[in-house]
Amino acid sequence: MKRLCKGLFAVCLLLTLTACGKSEASKASNITITDQAGREVTLEKPAEKVVSGYYIATSTLIGLGQEDKLVGVEMKADKRMIYKKAAPQVIDLPAMGNKKSFNVEECAKAKPDVVFLPNSLSSYIDKLEELGMKVIILNPETMSDYDEAIKIIAAVTGAKDEADAYFTYRDELEAKYLKLDTTPDKLVYFAGSELLEASGEHMFQGELIKKAGGVNVMKEGKDSTWMKINKEELLKKNPAYIFVENKGADINGFYDEAYRDIKAVKDKQVYEFPSKLETWDTPNLSSCLGELYMASVLYPEKVSKEDVIKEAKVFYQKFYQIDVDAKDLGL
């Protein structure tokens, strides 16, 4: 009888220890990240079903080879040329929302493991979590913010190797072309959706100027938002180059009589940022091509237009598995 009791005790102890071991192993395999709203989010395993209410997240997921995990995307996906070419199936997915609103009920129907949202939709966190959904907020206002966003997306979807491959590619691209002997006369003004809406130094576009060897004439910008300026201020700054964000203000507006004395206008150095596929001046994987493009304008003797087209072909084949040409890029 004693032997039987001892045997039963040993079995019970073994089962208890095994259960504890499994519990500890489960905890160890959990994925815990801190999102860009400072919230800690934990998943038991890499997400297999993903809803993205944010273009930047959707494009990044496609570039990291995770498009098949998407079960819902932001509105107007059919307007995104990069989706049409690289992941046409995404266009037919349920449209969940835009920067101002999000369809919680439609999202719940998709039963996602995780939902990526921009900071502007953070008011929907509680509603989604009440329905058992994991929510991750992304807010990539600067280059370092976007790098962090890539790492978050990769960690949550099990795409670390793909993200590492991208960072290695980008580092090599910058080392090859952007080790420039910069000159202080490369004065750049970067406009947004209006002619007199400017990027300061701490915006993504401001950092892009610096990467390409330019000098931002709007150094006064203290944060990562567009600055409103007046015409007289721009005339005084007298930039040698003017860039306008992709699909932003009409560049022809700078050729109005009011701006004719600006050096960039006189020298016809006013450009709309490419590309037709997707914006190269905002946080997405292809922004490294934006650095290269701006360098080709500022230092054409060191970086040619042909270099930009050549490297863009390599980039889009490597990360989006599509072939592109100069027409696709708007170059």
Count CB atoms within 10 A of the CB of residue 24. Answer: 10
Alpha-carbon span 261 to 110, nearest angstrom: 56
Residue 67: predicted pLDDT? 97
What does the pLDDT average to over 290-308? 96
What is the average pLDDT value for the chain, to the nearest integer?
Answer: 90
What does the pLDDT average to over 12-32? 54
pLDDT at 228 over 90: yes
Classify residue 283 as exposed, middle or buried by CB count within 10 Å of its CB (0-12, 13-18, 19+): buried
Architecture of domain 173-329: 3-Layer(aba) Sandwich (3.40)
- Do 30-158 and 173-329 have matching folds? yes
CB 243 within 8 A of CB 193: no
**What percentage of the chain's residues is helix, strand, coil (to nearest 5)?**
50, 15, 35
* Domain residue ranges in the chain: 30-158, 173-329
pLDDT band at 137 (very low <50, low <70, confident <90, very high): very high
Q: Is the dihedral of CA 44, 47, 48, 53 positive or negative?
A: positive
Count CB atoms within 10 A of the CB of residue 222. Answer: 10
| Biggest distance spanned by C-alpha atoms of the chain | 105
Please tell us whether the domain made up of 30-158 is placed in CATH 3.40.50.1980.
yes
HEC assignment per residue over 97-149: ECCCCECHHHHHHHCCCEEEEEHHHHHHHHHHHHCCCCEEEECCCCHHHHHHH
Per-residue pLDDT of 72-126, as tens digits, reads 999 999 999 999 999 999 999 999 988 899 999 999 999 999 999 999 999 999 9
